Amino acid sequence: MSHWIPKEKMTAYQRWEVAAFDEEQRATVNPPPPAEPPVAEQPIDVPVESASVPQEQEPPVVLPTAEDIERMHQEAHAAGHAAGYAEGMVAGKAAAVKIAALMDSLQQALAAIDQGVADQLLALAIEIANQVLRQSLRVQPELLLPVVREAVTVLHPHHGQPLLFVHPDDAALVRSQLGDQLAHSNWRIVDDKALSAGGCRVELGASEVDATLETRWRRVTESIGSSQEWLKP
């Protein structure tokens, strides 16, 4: 039989032994609940104002590879070639226009020179022909006879007095060579100092045939595009 000892009269050892026993008994009767798993620490949100913002890092420098350099070289070459071709086409067209204008001016200049030379040659030829004809009539005055025959056949004297005007130097030749023929047709030969030797003029009433040397010469020069008059001595 146990008797109860007040707590205040127990020794220290007895108090510890009883307390330990009581705790062991309570633990046996009422076991402690199972221990809960440890709670993971939640991250602490740091306010933006107080959090330090990390500085942005510059991207690393990427050096071009050999293939990149070759591609860039080819692209630059192609672009330069295209630009040079376009510029060359524009320059070529401009040069062609200038050359065409130059050739046109040159052709005009050559045409003007050719025309000038042609005119000079024509004038020289006419002058030479004038001198040759003048000399020929002086040496061969009988060259007038075909001219007289042609002039008198143009007019047919049915009535009236036909007149043949010639230079006095030619009158003797005409009378000696054509006097009988002209007299048979009632022609009268008239000396006219106003006429040049080598020509004649025929009149029948109001009709006239101008076969003077000056008129015949003008007709010839006009037929070749010139208007150079007969050069009198």
pTM value is 0.49
Both tokens assigned to 70: 């070759």
Please give the single-letter amino acid code of residue 57. Answer: Q
End-to-end CA distance of the chain: 200
Whole-number pLDDT of residue 119: 78
Of 194, 125, 190, which Cα lies nearest the Cα of 163? 190
Whole-number pLDDT of residue 33: 57
Cα-based distances in Å from 32 to 19, 28, 217 = 17, 9, 162
Of 170, 189, 169, which Cα lies nearest the Cα of 179? 189
Q: How far apart are CA 231 and CA 146, in angstroms?
A: 22
Q: How far apart are CA 173 and CA 176, in angstroms?
A: 5
Whole-number pLDDT of residue 21: 45
Contact predicate 146/169, CB 8 Å? no
Domain residue extents for the chain: 75-139, 141-223
DSSP codes of every residue in 76-95: HHHHHHHHHHHHHHHHHHHH
Angle at 229 between CA 119 and CA 201, to 5 degrees: 145
Whole-number pLDDT of residue 50: 46
Instruction: Report mean pLDDT in 10-residue bins for the chain, 233 residues.
Output: 52 50 49 54 50 59 77 80 75 80 79 79 77 84 92 81 94 94 91 93 91 88 75 59
Whole-number pLDDT of residue 34: 55
Whole-number pLDDT of residue 176: 94
Burial of 61 (0-12, 13-18, 19+ CB in 10 A): exposed
Is domain 141-223 given the CATH code 3.30.2320.30 in the classification? Answer: yes
Rg for the chain (alpha carbons), in Å?
72
